[in-house]
Amino acid sequence: MPNTRIKVPETAKAGDIVEIRAVIQHPMENGFNVDSQGTTIPVEIITDFVCEYDGGEVFRVKLEPGLSANPYFSFFLKATKTGPVDFHWLDQNGSKTDASVTLTVT
């Protein structure tokens, strides 16, 4: 499973706008690179990134081959109640990488 890095504030006040950051380690092969033998390396990318919080989807990205390696997303979220912030990455072969952090709302 690829490495991921997540940053969610540990605590927030209800109604606060908090910054969420997420990185996944992935080569994001765009299909134009060649290996040392001159053979084209096929496309190998993450296709979807989703963030869920408080029972609903709060952020979704559709990724394309033009993105650079190790895609990094930063976005904002309105803290409503204590609960997990779930992250899901889906690659083109259907394999899923998950991560979850609890956000405590005071």
Partner 1 sequence: MKRLLAGVVAFIAVSGALGAVVGTSGAQISANAAVETAAGARSGYTYMGPETQALQDDDFANPGMLWVDEGQKLWSQPAGVKGLSCQSCHGDAKTSMRTVATRYPAFSPQLGRMINLEQQINYSRTAHQGADAYPYESEELLALTAYISHQAKGLPMNVAIDGPAAQDFARGKAFFYQRRGQLNLACNNCHEQHAGDHLRAESISQGQVNGFPIYRELWQAMGSLDRMFAWCNTAVRAEPYAAGSQEYVDLELYERWRGRGLLIESPAVRR
Summarize as ranges the residues that interact with partner 1 (CB under 8 A): 3, 5, 7, 21, 23, 25, 27-28, 68-70, 72, 74
Residue 14 or 69 having the CB closest to partner 1: 69
Q: How far is the CB of 49 from partner 1 (least distance, A)?
A: 16
Q: How far is the CB of 103 from partner 1 (least distance, A)?
A: 17
Tokens in use for 63?
A: 């990724």
Q: Which of 82, 100, 106, 81 is nearest to 20 (CA)?
A: 100
Beta carbons within 10 angstroms of residue 50's beta carbon: 15
| Alpha-carbon span 34 to 38, nearest angstrom | 5
Residue 68 or 106 having the CB closest to partner 1: 68
Residue 12 or 22 having the CB closest to partner 1: 22
Q: How far is the CB of 100 from partner 1 (least distance, A)?
A: 17
- Maximum C-alpha span of the chain: 58
* Angle at CA of residue 38, ends 37 and 41, nearest 5°: 100
Residue 8 or 12 having the CB closest to partner 1: 8
